[in-house]
Structure 1
Amino acid sequence: METVPELGITFDCADAQVVAAFWCRALGWVEAPPPEGWADWPSFLTDHDVPEDEWGDGATIRPASGGGPSISFLKVPEGKTVKNRVHLDVKVSGGRHVDQDVRERRIREKEEDLVAHGARTLREDHRDDGRLDHVVMQDPEGNEFCVV
C-alpha cells in the first residue's frame, strides 16, 4: 500500500522565531505542538541530539483548529535574493461577492495590523474599475504575500 504524503510548507529565514511569530499573527495560527510521544519541544530536541544553542533555529505553526498543513521556518545562512515564485494569500475580504467597501475595509485593517507587526506594503493592485483588489506585502524578512 502506498503512503500518502502530507503537505508541509517551509520558509527559509534568518530568524525562525521572529518570522513564525509574525505568521501566527497574520494567519491567526499557533505554535505547533511537539511530535506525538514527546511532552514538549525541549524533550524532542534533546532526544534528537539537537544542540541547545540551535533550538531557536526552527519553528512550526499550524491552524489553531489543528487541521490543514503546517508551516515551518528554518534558519539558513543565506539571505533572500529574489522575488518569491510561490507566495501565501492572507484571505480576509470574504471574496469578490462581498460588498466592495466591506472588502476594502477588511483588507486595509489587516494591512494596518501587519505593518504594525513588521510587514511592509509593496503595492496595491486594483480592479479594472479602480477599486482595490489586494495588497502585496512583505513579511519581516522580505517574503512576499498578498492580503486579499
Structure 2
Amino acid sequence: MAVGLQVTFDASDPARLGAFWAELLGYVEQPPPPGYATWEEALDAVGFPEDQRDGFYAVVDPDGAGPRLFFQKVPEAKVAKNRVHLDVNVGAGLEGEERTARVNAEADRATGLGATVQLVAQERGEFWIVMQDPDGNEFCLQ
C-alpha cells in the first residue's frame, strides 16, 4: 500500500510562496475543513491566535493526484543549496524542439511569476532549466 506524500517548504511568506507554486502547477489553495466557509472561520472555531495565522499555507492538486504542498513560515533566509528539489515535467510527452519550446515557454511563465533562471542545460538528449522560486528554492523544469 502506498503512503501519501506532502512536500513542505520553509518560507519567508507562506501565502506568497504557496500562490507561486499553485500558479506554476495548476494547484489551488487547500479548502477549509468541512463545515467551514473560510479558513478564518475554521481557525476562529479552534481559537487559533490571529497573530500566527500567516505562519502557514497549503495548496493541493484539484484532481487529487499530486502531493499537498505545505508552506511554513521561518525567520531565517535560505542559505545553502537544496538537498532535494522538485522536477516539474512540463514537457511530458513531447520530443525535440517541441519539448524545448514548451520548457522555455514555461520558464518564461515561471519568471513572470517571480522565479529566476539559474542554468539552461542539455545533455544525453534531455533538456531542462534549473530555476529558483521566489524564496530561492531550486527546482527544474524539464
TM-score, structure 2 length as denominator? 0.90
Q: Would you say how many aligned residue pairs link Structure 1 and Structure 2?
A: 141
The answer on 1:145 being equivalent to 2:133 is no
What SS does the corresponding residue of 2:31 show, helix, strand or coil? coil
Q: Matches of 1:42 and 1:146 in 2, distance apart?
A: 34
Matching residue within 99, 102, 110 for 1:103: 99
Between stretches 49-58 and 137-146, larger displacement belongs to 49-58
Q: Counterpart in 2 of 1:133?
A: 127
Q: Matches of 2:90 and 2:66 in 1, distance apart?
A: 18
Matching residue within 106, 109, 113 for 1:117: 113
Percentage of identical aligned residues: 39
Q: Counterpart in 2 of 1:29?
A: 27
Q: Matches of 2:98 and 2:114 in 1, distance apart?
A: 25
Between stretches 43-52 and 102-111, larger displacement belongs to 43-52
Question: Runs in 1 of length 4+ with deviation above 4 angstroms?
Answer: none
Q: For residues 93 and 42 of structure 1, do their structure 2 counterparts lie closer, same or farther at Cα, with a shift above 3 Å needed?
A: same
Residues 67-105 of structure 1: per-residue CA shift (max 9 Å, x gap): 33200101111111111111111111125xx32100001
Residue 7 of structure 1, CA deviation: 1.8
Matching residue within 50, 53, 56 for 1:55: 53
Gaps of 5+ in 2: none
Q: Counterpart in 1 of 2:8?
A: 10
Give the conservation status (yes or no) of the 8 Å contact 1:26–1:90.
Answer: no
